[in-house]
Amino acid sequence: MDVPALLRWYRANRRDLPWRREVSPWRTLVSELMCQQTRIDTVLPYFDRFMAEFPSPERMAAAPVERVLELWSGLGYYSRARNLHAAAVALSRLGGFPRDEQGLRSLPGVGPYTAGAVGAIALGLDLPVVDGNVERVFARYYTVERPTRAWIWTEAARHLPRGEAGDYDQALMELGALVCTPRSPRCLLCPLRAGCKGTGEAERFPAAKARKVVPRATAIAAVWRRGGAVLLARRPGTGLLGGLWELPGGEGSLDEVLASRLGLRVLRADAVATVSHTFTHLHLETTVFSVDCAGEPEARHYDEVRFVEESTIEGMALSNLARKTLAAAGLPVKASGRALARDTHAKELAARR
């Protein structure tokens, strides 16, 4: 593999990204966690906001995790935000970043990939990284249909140029993102073309993985308004969407859910919208009801429930699903995805109650 050509290509063509303009272990850690499973365009404004408020691990460690979740709101995969806060607390106690791979991997939420990225890019350690882009480049370069992770790590390490791991790792990832793309790879522009076995049939490698069938489920969410406020609930701190605010609800009928989770009796309910949302493990269809209830809400299932002024909801720690649901109910929140079939199936929805 012509690694010098790869490095030259990277240095001439790399994207101008904020965490590349100024490099530090903290900025690399934050950017790497944000970029996992997430498009760079989406990450950019979040990264700037995080650096403005948390320019160091100590600043984040001094803030409650709730504030980190608020700023993370809309970015998805919220365990990353909780892990980042936990890592900041650990770093603050340590008094700085560990200087070796083992120490980096002892930080919460830091696995081999993130340790490799922070170690190579920001600390000058000779560590490889493997992500989906790197996997694709090696699978094509050697025309391997079903490469194992262990094989890719071995190949990435075998070609690593000592003292230049940071650029090498980023070059492989950048090549996969910009040139050796999943569809229509641009082999004519590729610095690895001369030695690549996959040229001409690149899209065959790696072989497509069998699609997982994502199970489907239904749920309800309740909008109870009082004056200019609406009832919101904060989920328990651990588990799916832990610590985030949402409209109260869950799987089951409206009456059962509000009785068991909040101790409320439903007096009136009108179906106002349906919201579809796909997690990695589940496709959820939520029916949103506008309700009036008897009783005072109790946090039986949640960490906290309270009526929140509608104008302040946007700044809260909300999941993407909560954003879609709140927007579907007409509350002043930006939904981060296409969501809604409002009002159109009201009769059908009411029947599900």
Residues tagged active-site: 32
**Element at 234 (helix H, strand E):** strand 229-234
Show the site string, 200-239: x = touches ligand SF4 by CB under 6 A, - = not: --x-------------------------------------
Output 192 or 291, the one with its CB closest to ligand SF4: 192
Output 91 or 190, the one with its CB closest to ligand SF4: 190
Is 187 an interacting residue with respect to ligand SF4 (CB under 6 A)? yes
Residue 213: CB partners within 8 Å, gap ≥ 6?
A: none
Is 329 an interacting residue with respect to ligand SF4 (CB under 6 A)? no
Q: Please list the residues that pair with 231 across neighbouring strands.
A: 307
Sign of CA dihedral 315, 319, 322, 324: positive
Is 141 an interacting residue with respect to ligand SF4 (CB under 6 A)? yes
Q: Which of 110, 152, 180, 232 binds ligand SF4 (CB under 6 A)?
A: 180
What is the closest distance, in whole angstroms, from the C-beta atom of residue 60 to ligand SF4 in the complex? 38
Tokens 């009796």, residue located: 265
DSSP letters of 147-189?
Answer: --HHHHHHHHHHTPPTT-HHHHHHHHHHHHHHTS-SSS--GGG
Show the site string, 51-90: x = touches ligand SF4 by CB under 6 A, - = not: ----------------------------------------
Output 74 or 185, the one with its CB closest to ligand SF4: 185
Within 13 Å of residue 336, how many CA atoms lie on the same side as its CB?
15
Is 123 an interacting residue with respect to ligand SF4 (CB under 6 A)? no
What is the closest distance, in whole angstroms, from the C-beta atom of residue 176 to ligand SF4 in the complex? 8
What is the closest distance, in whole angstroms, from the C-beta atom of residue 170 to ligand SF4 in the complex? 16
Output 163 or 195, the one with its CB closest to ligand SF4: 195
Output 25 or 128, the one with its CB closest to ligand SF4: 128
Q: Which of 14, 67, 105, 193 binds ligand SF4 (CB under 6 A)?
A: 193
Percent of the chain as helix, strand, coil, to the nearest 5: 45, 15, 40
The span from the CA of 328 to the CA of 340, in Å, is 6
Residue 12: CB partners within 8 Å, gap ≥ 6?
A: none
Is 173 an interacting residue with respect to ligand SF4 (CB under 6 A)? no
What is the closest distance, in whole angstroms, from the C-beta atom of residue 192 to ligand SF4 in the complex? 4
Q: What is the DSSP letter of 331?
A: -
The span from the CA of 37 to the CA of 319, in Å, is 16
**Element at 214 (helix H, strand E):** none
Is 196 an interacting residue with respect to ligand SF4 (CB under 6 A)? yes
Q: Which of 85, 140, 235, 261 binds ligand SF4 (CB under 6 A)?
A: 140
CA nearest neighbour of 274 among 210, 345, 189, 334: 345
Binding stretches for ligand SF4 (CB under 6 A)? 137, 140-141, 179-180, 185, 187, 190, 192-193, 196, 198-199, 202
